[in-house]
Amino acid sequence: MKLKSVYRCQQCGLETPKWAGQCPGCEAWNTLAEEVIAVGKSKPARASRPLAAAPSGVKKLSEAGGAALERIPTGIGELDRLLGGGVVPGQVLLLAGPPGIGKSTLMLQAAARLAGRKVLYVSGEESLSQVADRARRIGLGECGIILASETELDRILEILESERPGVVVLDSVQTVYRSELSGGPGTVGQVRECASELLRAAKSRDAVLFLLGHVTKEGSVAGPKVLEHIVDTVLQFDSEERQQLRILRAEKNRFGPTSEIGLFEMTEKGLREVVDASTLFLEDRQGAAVPGRAVSVTLEGSRPILVEVQALVTSTRYPLPRRTSTGMDVNRLFVLIAALEKHLRLRFDAYDVYVNIAGGLRLKDPAIDLAVCLAVVSSARDAALPPDRVFIGEVGLLGEIGRAGLMRNRLREAERVGFRSALIGERAAADLTKAGADSSLHILRAANIPEAVEAALGQEKNPC
């Protein structure tokens, strides 16, 4: 076997024959590291082999495919929803997240429920007794998972060969290594090589493979590009402001949606699913009639969630007034402030504007625009909005209030949680009337920002 040196960027995975201070691919500095790869007859360059199990030839589209995908539910509702009902035989999933977030715990819980099939849990980070101990602590001591504490790729492949599991969990992809490669475990070369070997082994047996990966300080999985495009599904595990809350998102999903989120809480008995999420992000609703507060209903995937927008408008002490936002795009805030200035004839140039989405969600749904605008005006006027009302609608540059997707679901959720009225756009309200209302919320309508402000706060003169 011949050995050859190449240089690989530890950030983007680009391979170059020569060393350079800056990666020609992603332009990061000092990220190229030497790697020795095997070339020659005895060991063909593995990475260049095709990833699919067998060449499939050509077929007419109409004749290809066939039976619907077999779904294997993991039994964890929040995870299954994200996966589109469950995992598919041969699916390779990457579960990424910072250390300590709960990846091992989640996988152990999922593995226990999948244990009707043969499940192999390979832990490269913890000893067998540590894994068993944790399983016992979260009440999974008796399930039929097979454990292995192994970090060498060839050994893991041997175990796969002899045990023939239907589900494999590798915890974590950064701890496995192949001894022929010079880089240490966790380098891009090792991660890529090991992941693709395991992927091939799993796909050829129609086994489901979960790869657990730590994200680096910069927030990316080591060798992100290489892993993200070889796996079928990338799940990202994050914590939000509230320490115990864990949010699972699908960043890529070959067999299901990417818009859903899964919510969990870390307890002493492992991760608990948060099923009733809609009020999780509302601050205490009792003392709610405060200036600067507006509630909206956002969609995370298909799930309506009530969110509280908080705004603070104060006289500025800076030459350039400050605008900051947490939980929403600050550029969107700039646009909304400009729309308010134009259409309400307000001037915010002597005022700082701070906006916060309570609870730590990061929202992209434009339907919260109306709540943001009204929270800002409410703070500026120092007048509270009706606390039992929700505000839903996108605000356009011309000041008009637009529609919002799945309006009926949003309204139904607001009603269920105890809100009594909703202020929405004129057109959205007309759609509802046409379709026949199915909630008893009192619907107020506004075609544009001035009408919305009048409906919500009355006609009082604006101070700015």
| Residue closer to ligand TYD, measured from CB, 228 or 265 | 265
For the chain, count helices (H), then strands (E). 11, 19
Site map for ligand TYD, 377-416, x if CB under 6 A?
----------------------------------------
Question: Taking contact as CB under 5 A, which single stretch among the options 104-112, 292-300, 341-349, 377-385 is the one that binds Mg ion?
Answer: 104-112
Does 104 sit near ligand TYD (CB under 6 A)? yes
Find the binder of ligand TYD among 33, 138, 358, 443 (CB under 6 A): 138
CB of 126 to Mg ion, least distance (A): 7
Toward Mg ion, which CB reaches closer, 123 or 379?
A: 123
How many other C-beta atoms can be found within 10 angstroms of the C-beta atom of residue 155? 14
Q: Which is nearer to ligand TYD, 105 or 233 (CB)?
A: 105
Pairing of β 389-392 and β 421-425: parallel
Nearby residues of 294 by Cβ (< 8 Å), 6 or more positions away: 308, 309, 311, 371, 372, 374, 375, 378, 385, 391
Q: How far is the CB of 333 from ligand TYD (least distance, A)?
A: 33
Residue 68, C-beta contacts closer than 8 angstroms, at least 6 positions apart: none
In the bound complex, what is the minimum distance in angstroms from residue 236's beta carbon to ligand TYD?
A: 12
6: left (phi over 0), alpha (psi -120 to 50) or beta: beta
Nearer to ligand TYD, 101 or 340 (CB): 101
Contact 181, 36 (CB under 8 A): yes
DSSP 413-432: HHHHHT--EEEEEHHHHHHH
User: Least CB distance from residue 171 to Mg ion, whole Å?
Assistant: 6
Distance, in Å, from the CA atom of 224 to the CA atom of 56, rounded to the nearest integer, reads 28
CA-atom Rg of the chain in angstroms:
27
**Among Mg ion, ligand TYD, none, what binds residue 40 when CB lies within 5 to 8 Å by partner kind?**
none
Tokens linked to 314? 């104060």
Residues with Cβ within 8 Å of 21's Cβ and at least 6 positions away in sequence, in order, are 29, 30, 32
Which residue number, 270 or 393, has a Cβ lying nearer to ligand TYD? 270
Specify the 3-state DSSP secondary structure of 270.
strand
- Residues 364, 366, 371, 377, CA torsion sign: positive
Confirm or reject binding of residue 123 to ligand TYD (CB under 6 A): no
In the beta sheet, which residues pair with residue 29?
A: 22
- Cβ atoms of 8 and 189 closer than 8 Å: yes
Residue closer to ligand TYD by CB (options 71, 134) is 134
Near ligand TYD in 260-319, by CB under 6 A:
266, 268-270
User: Residue 68 Cβ, how far from Mg ion at the closest point, in Å?
Assistant: 34
| Residue 123 lies near Mg ion (rule: CB under 5 A) | no
Residues touching ligand TYD: how many (CB under 6 A)?
A: 15
DSSP code of residue 305: E
Within the chain, what is the greatest distance between any pair of CA atoms? 83
Least distance between ligand TYD and beta carbon 96 (Å): 10
Residue whose CB is nearest to Mg ion in the complex, by number? 104
Which pair of structure tokens corresponds to residue 447? 């075609």
Closest-CA residue to 279 (of 247, 241, 309, 307): 307
Q: Residue 104 or 236: which CB sits closer to Mg ion?
A: 104
CA–CA separation, 270 vs 166, rounded Å? 24
| Cβ nearer to ligand TYD, comparing 124 with 359 | 124
C-beta closer to ligand TYD: residue 268 or 276: 268
Closer CB to ligand TYD, 126 or 388, in the complex: 126
Binding letters toward ligand TYD, positions 72-101, x by CB under 6 A? -------------------------x-xxx
Pick from 10, 74, 91, 104: which binds Mg ion (CB under 5 A)? 104
The site for Mg ion (CB under 5 A) is made up of 104
The site for ligand TYD (CB under 6 A) is made up of 97, 99-105, 134, 137-138, 266, 268-270
